[in-house]
Amino acid sequence: MIATRVGRTDPDPAWVTPASMRRMPDALTSPQPFTQRTDPAAIEDLRARLRGTRWPDAPEDAGWSLGTDLDYLRDLVTYWADRFDWAAQEAALAKLPRFRVALGGLGIHFLHARAVAPAGPVLPLVLSHGWPDSFWRYTKVVPLLTDPGAHGGDPADAFDVVVPDLPGYGYSDRPAGPPLDSIAVAGLWAELMALLGYPRFGAAGGDIGSHVSRYLALDHPERVVAVHRTDAGVPVFTGDPADLAPEERAWLDSAAAWGGNEGAYAAVHRTKPQTAAVGLNDSPAGLAAWIVEKLRSWSDCGGHVERSFTKDEILTNLTIYWLTGTIGSSMRMYRANAAIPPAQHARRVEVPSGFSLFPGDVVRPPRAWLTRTANVVRVTEPARGGHFAPFEEPELYAEELRAFFRPYRTAAAAG
Q: How far is CA 140 from the centre of its chain?
A: 13
Q: How far apart are CA 15 and CA 173, in angstroms?
A: 14
Q: How far is CA 19 from the centre of its chain?
A: 24
**In contact, 214 and 247? CB cutoff 8 Å:** no
β-bridge pairing 106-113 and 159-164: antiparallel
**In contact, 179 and 329? CB cutoff 8 Å:** yes
Query: How many other C-beta atoms can be found within 10 angstroms of the C-beta atom of residue 239?
Result: 9
Which residues are known to be catalytic?
Answer: 207, 334, 387
CB proximity list for 381: less than 8 A, separation 6 or greater: 356, 357, 358, 359
Q: How far apart are CA 182 and CA 150, in angstroms?
A: 35
Would you state the torsion angle of the CA atoms of residues 106, 318, 91, 45, taken in this order, to the nearest 10 degrees? 100
Encode burial over 249-277: b for 16+ CB neighbours within 10 A, e otherwise. Answer: bebbeebeeeeeeebebbebbbeebeebb
HSE, side-chain direction, 13 A CA sphere, residue 383: 3
Q: State the first-to-last Cα distance of the chain, in angstroms, to the nearest integer.
A: 36
Q: How far apart are CA 23 and CA 16, in angstroms?
A: 14
Would you state the torsion angle of the CA atoms of residues 133, 162, 401, 395, taken in this order, to the nearest 10 degrees? -60
Q: At 228, which helix (H) or strand (E)?
A: strand 224-229
CB proximity list for 100: less than 8 A, separation 6 or greater: 20, 21, 24, 31, 32, 34, 107, 108, 109, 110, 171
